[in-house]
Amino acid sequence: MSILLSNISKKFGRFSALNNINLEIPEGELVALLGPSGCGKTTLLRIIAGLERPDQGRVLLNGEDKTEQHVSHRGIGFVFQHYALFRHMTVFDNVAFGLRVKPRRERPGEHEIVKKVHALLELVQLDWLHDRYPDQLSGGQRQRIALARALAVEPSVLLLDEPFGALDASVRKDLRQWLRNLHHELNVTSIFVTHDQEEAMEVASRVVVLNQGRIEQQGSPSDIYDHPANAFVSRFIGQTNVFTPEQQDDAWLATFGLQPGKTAHVRPHDIDIEKSSEQDAQAILKDWQHLGALIRVELVKNGSNDRFYAEMPNEHFKRLQLDKGDKVSLRIRQAHWF
């Protein structure tokens, strides 16, 4: 189901959580709402679900205006950040809940419910836990049960609020991959909220970056990474070195090709370094760290303490034969100006 949001605004007291949000999500996409905490992303998700009412604006699902409709009639599946599993019910009863509360004429027979619930539990690979209670499960298992429960009612939109936020790193990695595959399999329009840019880039086919209640940019992950629309997006997505004319003097910036008078954002992997024997080389290698396949090099401007970073593959760094304290010359491959 496609989603269309027009002119959505929401205030909590005097705090403006969302400001004139316009967003269109085509059917079948897996979209990430990405932003720092307090940017309004969860509020937006809750407005789409009908758990929150916008002060202004409309929510259209499949072209139908659903702004005034109660959450129970919207046909959405919502997965909560802390799972919100029913503590007093077994895993099986949790998943079956959505089917059992249907009005009698729509409700499937008990036999069908049993079959369907087991099928869903198999989909999330947890059928063997069907008679446990939520308190007896690990975080990752609860998350998958919450997802199975939401899928039981065959929602036309799946909304996930920080789905991996409360999990530890390795479980999170597995579940990301798993969510992507699941989306591929079911092809239900899905939106998930996250503050983790890596997660958004890895899982989503489309990323919407929010900040202070506004949409800063939307597009495919590579679009957003390669062509950030503004300084906020550039700093928020991935690592960036910021060179401002106020902080660094123009003459120094000009020596490695940065235009004077403008703020430049340079990704660490867009900085090339070379050992230099010149006394007035542009920078000094202060330190370096091993990040797996990459080496992060900590540099300071020659004669000051302005710190910035370059990244390069392991092999490349070895070939340069650099040591702490060496003077280096810089070359910028690519920069964004704002």
Partner 1 sequence: MSQSNIMPGFRPTLAFTLLYLGLVVLIPLSTLVFKSFQLSWEDYLSVITNDRVVASFRVSFVTSLAAAAVASLFGFIIAWVLVRYPFPGKRLFDALIDLPFALPTAVAGIVLAAIYQPNGYIGTLLTDMFGLQVAYKPLGIVVALIFISLPFFVRTVEPVLQEFDSTMEEAASSLGATRRQVFVRIILPNLLPASLTGFALAFARSVGEYGSVIFIAGNLPYVSEIVPLMIITKLEQYEYAGATAIALTMLVISFLLLLVINLLQLWVRKRSGQL
List phi, psi (to 5°) of 67.
-55, -40
102 is an interface residue for partner 1 by CB under 8 A: yes
CB of 113 to partner 1, least distance (A): 13
Site for partner 1 in 212-251 (CB under 8 A): none
Measured from the CB atom, the residue of 17 and 85 that comes closer to partner 1 is 85
Measured from the CB atom, the residue of 102 and 319 that comes closer to partner 1 is 102
3 state SS for 268-325: HHHEEEEECCCCCCCEEEEEEEEECCEEEEEEEECCCCCEEEEEEEHHHHHHHCCCCC
Q: Which amino acid is at 281?
A: A
Binder among 3, 21, 48, 51 for partner 1 (CB under 8 A): 51
DSSP type of residue 196: -
CB of 81 to partner 1, least distance (A): 8
Binder among 98, 140, 228, 268 for partner 1 (CB under 8 A): 98
CB of 3 to partner 1, least distance (A): 16
86 is an interface residue for partner 1 by CB under 8 A: yes
Site for partner 1 in 279-318 (CB under 8 A): none
Label residues 144-154 b or e (16+ Cβ within 10 Å = b). Answer: bbbbbbbbbee
157 is an interface residue for partner 1 by CB under 8 A: no
188 is an interface residue for partner 1 by CB under 8 A: no
Measured from the CB atom, the residue of 167 and 207 that comes closer to partner 1 is 167
State how far the alpha carbon of 324 is from the alpha carbons of 21, 147, 298, 334, in Å. Answer: 49, 50, 10, 26
- Closest by CA to 215, choosing from 198, 200, 230, is 230
135 is an interface residue for partner 1 by CB under 8 A: yes
CA–CA gap between residue 271 and residue 278 (Å, rounded): 19
CA 296-302-306 angle, to 5 degrees, is 60
Mark the segment that binds partner 1 (CB under 8 A) among 68-76, 171-179, 242-250, 315-323.
68-76
Helix axes 110-123, 91-100, angle to 10 degrees: 130
Measured from the CB atom, the residue of 4 and 153 that comes closer to partner 1 is 153
First-to-last C-alpha distance (Å) of the chain:
37
Measured from the CB atom, the residue of 71 and 171 that comes closer to partner 1 is 71
166 is an interface residue for partner 1 by CB under 8 A: no
Residue 191: which residues within 8 A CB-CB, separation 6 or more?
3, 25, 31, 32, 33, 45, 48, 157, 158, 159, 160
Residue 315 zone, left/alpha/beta (φ > 0; ψ -120 to 50; rest): alpha
Binder among 136, 138, 181, 334 for partner 1 (CB under 8 A): 136
89 is an interface residue for partner 1 by CB under 8 A: yes
151 is an interface residue for partner 1 by CB under 8 A: no
105 is an interface residue for partner 1 by CB under 8 A: no
150 is an interface residue for partner 1 by CB under 8 A: yes
178 is an interface residue for partner 1 by CB under 8 A: no
Residue ranges that bind partner 1, judged by CB under 8 A: 49, 51, 70-73, 76-78, 80, 82, 84-90, 97-98, 101-102, 133-136, 146, 149-150, 152-153
